[in-house]
Structure formats: C-alpha cells, structure tokens
C-alpha cells in the first residue's frame, strides 16, 4: 500500500523494549489509518530516526527514560512537534511538581521531601519519618514503582531498613519522598482517570503495588500492574479535572487559556475520609489502557486527529 503524499505521518513513540508498541497501543495504528493518518511505532533513542519527517510525534511507551531523564528532555526538545510537549515532559517527569500543586492548595498525598547533598545523618532521617503506621520511601524521579519501598514506623528493624533505603537513594543523587502509606489503597486500590483534551474518557482501578512491608521494587512494574475497569464517580472525575486545571496554570510556558493536553492520566487514592487525593499525574508516558471501556481507543484516535488538525500549540514554549 502506498501512502498518498498528503497523508499526515505520525510517530507513536516507544522504547527498545516495545519496538512494536505495547499491545494496548498497537490498535492505534489501524484506528489512525481509518482517519487517514499514517502512524508507525518509532523508538525514541534510535539515532537513525529523522524526526522531521513526521507531522507529529506522540509519546506512548517510553518506559526506559527515568534513569536518563535529561537525555529524554533533550530528545523531547529536538522533536519538531511533540505531544505532550517538552515543557510538560520536563515539569511532569520529576515528582516535585506535586509540591508546586500542594503549595497552591491542591489535595495531594502528604509528602516530606529529602534532598541529596544535605548530609542528613541517620537520626535526621529517623526524625523525618512518621511515628506511627506504615510509610513509603520513593525517589522523586521514577516510574513503574521502581525504587519504592514500604515500611512500618513502629518496627525498629523496618525503620532501620527505611533509613538505609533513603540513604542509598540520596547517595545516588535522588531526591527522596517520604509519605504515609495510604491504607485505603490496600482495600480500594488506586484510581486512574484518563482525559483526552481535558474531556474525561475512562477510568481504571489499579491494585496496590506495595503490598509487602520492606520490599523495594527493583523491576519496572508498569507492564505488570493489575487493573480493572472502573466507573468513576462524578466527584472523582471533577477532582481529576481540577488537578489538570491546576497543572495547566503551573507548567512553565502554559496557562489556563492554553489548549488542554491531548492526553493525561490522573491517579488518585482515597484519603482517610474517603475523599480522593492526588497520588500523581501522568502527562508523559502513561499507560492509557485503551482496551478498557467502550470506545476509549476511538476517543484517543479522534483526539490525536484533532490535535494534528489544530496545528502546534503556541503555548508550548519550553522556558527552561
């Protein structure tokens, strides 16, 4: 089959581990073909690729970039037209954005931040851990639960392991997040809400990743996470939308008047009172679980076709 010269070319960006895309995203290729868009899987760090041949590149399964985030940002800036754009990639790939959102009044999972190079000793770390219940230690730059561990505050051994874990991450140059373990996650799971251009599409419920105390995830869990379809409540859908509005106002180079992001996933967990609080917002390479929910795939394909038609978003200047 030859492609007529006017057919737009779209790169669906992946990593070397998924050269043909993740199976959930592969059906995007025929779905986009139905919309007269020639889409293909392209590996982000393949040096042979000439990104200028694509009318648009859409990040999908680039799940190997966390350990080389700066290289990934540099790549993002080099692509003529990237969705989501490089300023969003930069902002969202370091969980410090949660601090910025919390500072502006959004309900996020409460976090104590430990920064590398501050020379904390064991006692200083101990003092920053919660006194009761379980807590989580995780790096600020990570994905797929890598480097996250759960500990029990009242168990001296567990606390010692937590100190060692935090020390190790800090020594490796990571910023470290200390959070209370949200106990409702064990029973209710985590809710992931997907939005295309700001419009709610579908939701999943994800099982708790840190079920065992003391275990630190070393392997990427993104591909093995257990999810099921979930019917989000209006309050949850609205909370996700509020979080996205906060983000639009905070991302350097964007504003509340800029175009809503082509895709976004908002992950929330129930707090003690049952109200949803933000665990994280995935604006770079979220699994979108397009097979969940009727028409999720079509809605995403429609959004990408619309994004292509609208042309580059003027609000995407990378200011850093």
Ligand X SMILES: Nc1ncnc2c1ncn2[C@@H]1O[C@H](COP(=O)(O)OP(=O)(O)O)[C@@H](O)[C@H]1O
Residue 211 Cβ, how far from ligand X at the closest point, in Å? 9
Is residue 165 within 8 Å of residue 210, measured between CB atoms?
A: no
Angle (CA) 265-69-254 rounded to 5° is 50
Q: How far is CA 136 from the centre of its chain?
A: 18
Q: How far is CA 227 from the centre of its chain?
A: 16
Decide if residue 210 touches ligand X (CB under 6 A). Answer: yes
Decide if residue 243 touches ligand X (CB under 6 A). Answer: no
For ligand X, the binding residue among 41, 42, 143, 162 (CB under 6 A) is: 143
For ligand X, the binding residue among 25, 64, 190, 313 (CB under 6 A) is: 190
Nearer to ligand X, 29 or 148 (CB): 148
Collect contacts of 183-190 with beta carbons under 8 A, ≥24 apart: 183/133, 183/134, 184/269, 184/270, 184/271, 184/272, 184/274, 185/269, 185/270, 186/211, 188/269, 188/270, 190/267, 190/268, 190/269, 190/279
For ligand X, the binding residue among 59, 182, 262, 297 (CB under 6 A) is: 182
The region of 56-64, 160-168, 208-216, 247-255 touching ligand X under the rule CB under 6 A is: 208-216
Q: Within positions 113 to 142, which residues make up the interface with ligand X, using CB under 6 A?
A: 136, 138, 142
For ligand X, the binding residue among 32, 148, 166, 176 (CB under 6 A) is: 148
Q: How far is CA 312 from CA 127, 294, 316, in A?
A: 49, 29, 8
Angle (CA) 78-84-89 rounded to 5° is 70
Decide if residue 208 touches ligand X (CB under 6 A). Answer: yes
Decide if residue 193 touches ligand X (CB under 6 A). Answer: no
Q: Is the dihedral of CA 233, 205, 291, 57 positive or negative?
A: positive
Nearer to ligand X, 236 or 267 (CB): 267
For ligand X, the binding residue among 31, 209, 243, 244 (CB under 6 A) is: 209
Residue 142 Cβ, how far from ligand X at the closest point, in Å? 5
Residues that bind ligand X (CB under 6 A): 109, 136, 138, 142-145, 148, 179, 181-182, 185, 190, 206, 208-210, 267, 279-280
């Amino acid at each position: 089959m030859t492609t007529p010269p006017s057919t737009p070319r779209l790169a669906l960006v992946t990593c070397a581990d998924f050269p043909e895309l993740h199976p959930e995203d592969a059906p995007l290729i025929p779905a986009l073909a139905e919309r007269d868009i020639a889409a293909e899987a392209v590996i982000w760090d393949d040096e042979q690729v000439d990104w200028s041949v694509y009318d648009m590149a859409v990040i999908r399964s680039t799940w190997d970039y966390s350990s080389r985030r700066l290289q990934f940002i540099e790549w993002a800036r080099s692509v003529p037209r990237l969705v989501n754009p490089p300023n969003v990639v930069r902002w969202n790939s370091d969980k410090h954005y949660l601090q910025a959102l919390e500072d502006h009044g959004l309900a996020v999972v409460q976090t104590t931040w430990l920064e590398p190079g501050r020379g904390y000793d064991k006692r200083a770390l101990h003092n920053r851990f919660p006194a009761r219940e379980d807590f989580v230690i995780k790096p600020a730059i990570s994905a797929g639960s890598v480097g996250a561990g759960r500990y029990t505050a009242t168990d001296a051994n567990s606390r010692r392991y937590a100190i060692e874990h935090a020390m190790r991450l800090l020594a490796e140059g990571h910023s470290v997040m200390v959070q209370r373990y949200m106990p409702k996650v064990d029973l209710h799971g985590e809710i992931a809400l997907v939005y295309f251009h700001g419009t709610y599409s579908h939701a999943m419920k994800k099982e708790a990743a840190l079920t065992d105390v003391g275990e630190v995830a070393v392997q990427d869990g993104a591909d093995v996470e257990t999810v099921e379809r979930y019917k989000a409540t209006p309050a949850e859908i609205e909370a996700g939308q509020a979080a996205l509005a906060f983000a639009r106002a905070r991302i350097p180079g964007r504003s509340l008047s800029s175009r809503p992001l082509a895709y976004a996933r908002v992950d929330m967990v129930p707090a003690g009172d049952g109200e949803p609080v933000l665990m994280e917002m995935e604006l770079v390479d979220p699994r979108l679980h397009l097979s969940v929910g009727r028409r999720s795939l079509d809605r995403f394909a429609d959004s990408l076709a619309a994004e292509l038609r609208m042309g580059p978003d003027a609000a995407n200047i990378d200011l850093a």
